[in-house]
Amino acid sequence: MLTRKITTIKANSVPFTAFALKEQQLVWLDEKAYQKYSSHHNIADIEKHFKDDFSFSTASELMAESRLSKNEKKFLAERYGGRGIGVNGGAARCGNFGQLQVKGIGPTPLVGESTNKWYSNGGLSLIDAVYEAVFASILNEILPLGAVNCVGIICTGDDTAYPSHHKSKTGLGRGALLVREVAARPGHFFPITDFKIKQQYKHRLNSEQHRIRQVNKTLAQQFSSPNDFILYLGSFLQNSANQFAFAKAFRLCHGAITPSNIAFDGRWLDLTTASFLDGGKNYILNFPNEAFFTEHNAPLQIINELLYHNGKYNFTELNAAPLVNYYNEQYDAYFNYHFARVIGLPADSTVEKVTNSAAYEKLVSAYKKVLLADNEKIKLGRERAKAPDPVTEFITALFTELNQKKALAADNLSYNLNVVIKSYYRKAQSKVTVDAFKKISAIRALRQLYYIPIFYRSELKNNLSEDIETAEVSTFGDIIAQYRDLARWMFNDTNNESCIIFKLKQIEITFESKSENFFLASQNEKKFYSSADKLIATVETMEDKQLTFNYYNFKRSIITLLQAIV
């Protein structure tokens, strides 16, 4: 209810008219998500209703009026501020309709005067829409709070956007409308400092001074006391600490965290720069935003500014120090907790019983040194899928040495890993053998490491760009679903009996803990292998296409993983 109130504050809402597209194609629709917000409940017609509801645009340099009909609909553009919005006044290419938002709807009244086509055309390329939907689907499978849900994508036609890839010979490509949930963001209460209002809209927009005063007063009115407001901010910080700690542990970077790219409930949005990274390097994915090592500090910057504006316009003085201390404590605690999944242990109540041990703390400390090894900022914005990854090498070495079953010195990190895994095993009262449980832990830890490069931004975007301008647009719906499914099993930690080593539609490789055998299932055939060596021999003879998804070949990664658990 509070989210609804925040996102409909009148001073932040600018009405505008958009017109129905004469031609459009449905790319993808999450029917369950759409039904949550739609008044249309006839499943048979749901795709038609979705297109009827959201196939709208304003006219622009890339969306000629001849592409639009006279059928019009009112949308709301959100005003928000903070860094990262340039000369615009908030949602320069987004329009809200009910509880859903259309991204790529064309220029809104909040587009500022600019000669830069990327910030003024109001469009969204199909590749960026698909990328954001893919990443939102991935993050909703793995992040503690997830991402703002994407509901569907509509293709607006050829040459209706500037694509963020280099395959186009004309510099133009397929455009899209991305429909996602409306989210309450801290940026709604931040000043817009560099907005260059277009002349034709000056009479429609209240002054920025009036807006920022009004919205901060309205925000304060949603709480019974300043203390209730502090508790609300505490919830935001706790969720953010949980989210960013997980992201840091698994080398995941949003790349452009600003007050308008994070929701008050901690979820992320605007994910076109998001990526997994190789370890040990302090990448900047989108200059001048925070680098990977310090991205988790963004919520503190947001809170400090939010308290300043709230105090200024409500004549209160709230101390940020307790909130800052609380966030830092929560972040450290959550990182400590999420590291258990890095080494293949389940995120359950049992794991909390082993995270305070000296052996566990030694592993966390050693991991941080590898993860955060080089503090120099790398402004390339490219993660190197082919380069050796020190984090992968570190975790692989731990499990390889553990698997050799030789005596380990007490100061050896693999010895400490053995202590932690055995401690969890005893406390969980697992029904499999301790050796089988160690193997399951190794598989969980290593598959995350070896397969994560498919989610690197450069890899994912390059693979999507191969067909983005030529393939039947409906094929991308299946691609979005398959990326989601990859993330689901790669990060799954709930089943101790059958552990997936690799899975695509046409093939599945598992380790069965009770029999301690490996299985390879394809089509109508299922073979078992008594050792990883024998399974490796079979995988090496398989055709690359059997182990490839969207141009990414998993074959070498599967073999390397199996070699580590021989």
One digit per residue, the tens of pLDDT, for the chain of length 566 reads 577 778 789 999 999 999 999 999 999 999 999 988 887 766 668 999 999 999 999 999 999 999 999 999 999 999 999 988 889 999 999 999 999 999 999 999 999 987 577 767 899 999 999 999 999 999 999 999 999 999 999 999 999 999 877 666 678 999 999 999 999 999 999 999 989 989 899 888 989 999 999 999 999 999 999 999 999 999 999 999 999 999 999 999 999 999 999 999 999 999 999 999 988 889 988 877 889 999 999 999 999 999 999 999 998 889 999 999 999 999 999 999 999 999 999 988 899 899 999 999 999 999 999 999 988 878 655 555 566 799 999 999 999 999 887 777 878 999 999 999 999 999 988 888 999 999 999 999 999 999 999 999 999 999 999 999 999 999 999 999 999 999 999 999 887 788 999 999 999 999 999 999 999 998 878 999 999 999 999 999 999 999 999 999 999 999 999 999 98
Domain identity same for 17 and 77:
yes
Longest dimension (CA), the chain: 78
In a domain, 504, yes or no: no
pLDDT value at position 397?
A: 95
Q: Within this chain, do residues 170 and 285 fall inside the same structural domain, yes or no?
A: no
Assess if residue 217 is contained within a domain.
no
Kindly state whether residues 197 and 246 are assigned to the same domain: no
Would you say residue 294 lies in a domain?
A: yes
| 186 and 287 co-located in one domain | no
Instruction: Answer whether 149's CB lies under 8 Å from 30's CB.
Output: yes
Q: Which of 279, 302, 335 is the last residue of a domain?
A: 335
Q: Within this chain, do residues 44 and 188 fall inside the same structural domain, yes or no?
A: yes
pLDDT of res. 387: 66
- Helix ranges (DSSP H) in 277-389: 298-314, 321-342, 358-371
Give whole-number Cα distances, 256 to 64, 157, 268, 284, 292, in Å: 31, 28, 10, 9, 10
Shared domain check, 125 and 22: yes
- Distance from C-alpha of 93 to C-alpha of 96, rounded to nearest angstrom: 10
Q: Is residue 282 part of a domain?
A: yes
* CA 25 – CA 420 distance, rounded (Å): 53
- Say whether 156 sits in a helix, a strand or coil: strand
Question: What is the chain's alpha carbon radius of gyration, rounded to the nearest angstrom?
Answer: 25
Look-up: residue for tokens 């000629």?
64
Q: Are residues 101 and 168 in the same domain?
A: yes
Q: Is residue 100 part of a domain?
A: yes
The token duo for 565 is 């658990």
184 and 149 within one domain: yes
Structural domain contains residue 440? no
Spatial contact of 219 and 12, defined as CB atoms under 8 Å apart = no
Q: Please state, in angstroms and rounded to a whole number, the distance separating the CA atoms of residues 70 and 492.
A: 49
- Position 385 in a domain: no
The dihedrals phi and psi of 51, each to the nearest 5 degrees, come to: -65, -40
Total domains in the chain come to: 2
138 and 184 assigned to the same domain: yes
* In a shared domain, residues 234 and 189: no
Domain boundary among 287, 304, 335: 335
Residue range(s) defining the domain that contains residue 39: 2-202
- pLDDT (tens digit, 9 = 90+) per residue, 526-535? 999 999 999 9
- 161 and 249 both lie in a single domain: no
Question: Among 167, 202, 237, which residue terminates a domain?
Answer: 202
Task: Tell me the residue type at 309.
Answer: H
Q: For the chain, how far is it from start to end, CA to CA, in angstroms?
A: 54
Is 452 contained in some domain? no
Contact 127, 219 (CB under 8 A): no
Say yes or no: 148 and 275 in one domain: no
